[in-house]
Amino acid sequence: MQTQQNDTAQDRQLVTDYQTAVTEFGQNSTQAQDAFKAIFDRYYKTIKSFAYNKRNDYAEELTQETLLTVWQRLSSGRENITYLRGLVSHSFRCEYADLADYQQHRPNPLSLDREQENEGSTTLLNLVGEDEIQFSATIAQDLLNQLPNRYRLAWEGKLAGKSYKEIAEEQGWNENIVKKYINKGKQLLQGMVAA
């Protein structure tokens, strides 16, 4: 019982430290990264072990996606998070459900279900808001290069004018996974630009 109380207090302190660093220094600051590293270090092996037991072929991806979801939810400021273990557990279940959905609904190459993805030319300036900040193509590429590899690949395809279907076929992904990677990449890019 005492150990559980100590763990809960330690988790609460980790969340407080991270949220304080984000408030004082910004989401992408060294201080915030260091504070999140403490959360990462505390839960990485646990998540990886759990992921390996569920789907050993996707254990690393499940672990990374879970930690990214934890980071996004802690960083959003929209939630009052007091129970870190619960957040980690819920994030893992969501990512595992997404993976199960992906496995169940793999694209059929003969599918006639075509969605119109190209609503005109997509640029990184459209994404982050041209009126908020002006930056060069080099800086834009630097931002893309900071994304996790799968998000970067999805965005490079989108910026090249490819449809979700084309990106999915090129990368061997499901279209729903491409959409997910585009959306998660967008959130990360917007956070980087805001910082």
**Quick one: CATH architecture of 124-194?**
Orthogonal Bundle (1.10)
Residue 78 φ/ψ, nearest 5 degrees? -90, -10
Residue 36 in contact with residue 71, Cβ under 8 Å? yes
CA distance 8 to 19: 17
Where are the extended beta strands (E) located within the chain? Answer: none
66: pLDDT strictly greater than 50: yes
Residue 140 φ/ψ, nearest 5 degrees? -60, -45
Q: What pLDDT, on a 0 to 100 scale, did the predictor assign at position 114?
A: 37
The single residue listed with the structure tokens 């997404």 is 98
CA distance 57 to 161: 31
Distance of CA 155 to the CA centre of its chain: 13
Structure tokens at 186: 């967008």
Q: What is the DSSP string of 166-185?
A: HHHHHHT--HHHHHHHHHHH
Non-local CB neighbours of 101 within 8 Å, separated by 6+ positions:
176
Residue 156 in contact with residue 123, Cβ under 8 Å? no
Distance of CA 48 to the CA centre of its chain: 16
CA distance 57 to 53: 10
Outline which parts of the chain fall under CATH 1.10.10.10: 124-194
Highest mean pLDDT among 66-70, 111-115, 170-174, 175-179: 66-70
Residue 83 in contact with residue 11, Cβ under 8 Å? yes
116: pLDDT strictly greater than 70: no
pLDDT of 12-42, one tens digit each?
999 999 989 988 988 778 998 899 999 999 9
pLDDT of 118-174, one tens digit each?
444 455 555 554 444 444 456 667 777 777 778 888 888 888 889 989 988 888 877
Q: What pLDDT, on a 0 to 100 scale, did the predictor assign at position 105?
A: 52
DSSP state of 5: H
Per-residue confidence band for 6, with pLDDT thresholds at 50, 70 and 90: confident
